Amino acid sequence: MPESLMSLQQKGNLPLFCLLLLTAFFFTSCGTARKAGRASAAKPREAGKSDPSASAEINHMLDFAREYIGIKYRYGGNTPREGFDCSGFACFVFNEFGVQLPRVSADMSKAGRYVGKNELEKGDLVFFATGSTRRINHVGIVIETRPNVLMIHSSSSKGIRLDDINSEYYRNRYVTSRRVDLDQ
């Protein structure tokens, strides 16, 4: 054991030191200090006139995301082995297709360009405030738009799963949505 830790243990401050260390890890583990490069603004897609090659790539990305359904939730997690939090999962999926997003959902909500809830397309990011404030703290990726708008996301209680963004829970917590271009 290093001398400084032995000194803390002898003085009875080792539990306090461990608590401080865990607290520091908690506040940095979700990646707030590790911002990835900004995603470029999306090229506008006219409704019903999407580029077929872009649609194919988005469908490929969503098929890739579906492979992780059932992976456990883990705060600060960003790999299949350790589990994912919501923004870790979104970053993981988009990164696989060459797009680096900010690691934190609130920062991610500024990437790409705004799209209205009634304009959502597959691959768009949807953001929610699930806490007691209207602060964005959750993100999902739109995976279906008809008949219901489904997102794939990492739920803190159930891991990677699909949910309808218009379910009572998410409808009341929706904040905004963004479109990020896969062609950077």
Annotated catalytic residue within 18, 30, 60, 86: 86
What does pTM read for this prediction?
Answer: 0.74
Q: Any catalytic annotation for residue 86?
A: yes
Residue 108 scores a pLDDT above 50: yes
Annotated catalytic residue within 18, 30, 60, 153: 153
Residue 148's pLDDT band, with cuts at 50, 70 and 90, is: very high
All CATH 3.90.1720.10 domain ranges of the chain, comma separated, are: 35-179
- What is the rounded average pLDDT of the residues 97-108? 96
Q: What is the pLDDT of residue 40?
A: 38
Q: Which residue has the tokens 């590790």?
A: 34
Q: What is the pLDDT of residue 183?
A: 75
**Runs of H (alpha helix) within 67-183:** 86-96, 105-108, 168-171
Q: Any catalytic annotation for residue 60?
A: no
Radius of gyration over every alpha carbon of the chain, rounded to an integer in angstroms? 19
CATH superfamily of 35-179: endopeptidase domain like (from Nostoc punctiforme) (3.90.1720.10)
**What letter does residue 36 receive in the DSSP assignment?**
P
**Contacts of residue 141, Cβ cutoff 8 Å, sequence gap at least 6:** 62, 65, 90, 93, 123, 124, 125, 126, 151, 152, 153
pLDDT tens for 4-50 read 545 545 556 555 554 444 443 333 333 332 333 334 334 444 333 45
- What is the rounded average pLDDT of the residues 51-67? 89
Give the separation between CA 94 and CA 178, rounded to whole angstroms. Answer: 13
Structure tokens at 48: 């019903």
Other Cβ atoms less than 10 A from the Cβ of 115: the count is: 20
How many residues belong to the chain?
184
Q: Any catalytic annotation for residue 153?
A: yes
